[in-house]
Amino acid sequence: MAAKDRNGSIPGKRRPVPESCGRIIGTAVSAAISRGFVVGREVLVGSIPGIVVGYNIGSFGRFLGSAYPLVVRTALGVTKCGIDELVLA
């Protein structure tokens, strides 16, 4: 039997993601699409040009899909961005 952490979870076991989290991420992605950030669209991340290559549906980790719904490829690499960080080119 595995030892439990102080918060009562067993190391290595993930808790199920609540359904509301999926709705929040879906809403963020839909908002990005309605503002014109569709796959293949050229954008500026600050002053760096890039292309939207996908949508972030991640529900755990540092870059959640609800805050960073767009995946953008730039000359510096691929990054996850929020709608307010981008400008349509």
- 26-41 per-position pLDDT tens digit: 999 999 999 999 999 9
Residues 79/65/27/72 CA torsion (nearest 10 deg): 10
Q: What percent of the chain has pLDDT over 90?
A: 66
Instruction: Tell which wins on pLDDT, 62 or 51.
Output: 51
Q: How confident is the model at residue 55 (pLDDT cuts 50, 70, 90)?
A: very high
74 in Cβ contact with 61 (< 8 Å): no
Say how far apart CA 70 and CA 13 lie, in whole Å.
Answer: 28
Share of the chain above pLDDT 70, in %: 78
**Structure tokens that stand for 46 in this block:** 């600050």
Residue 21 parent element (H or E) = helix 19-34
Which 3 state secondary structure label does DSSP give 7?
coil
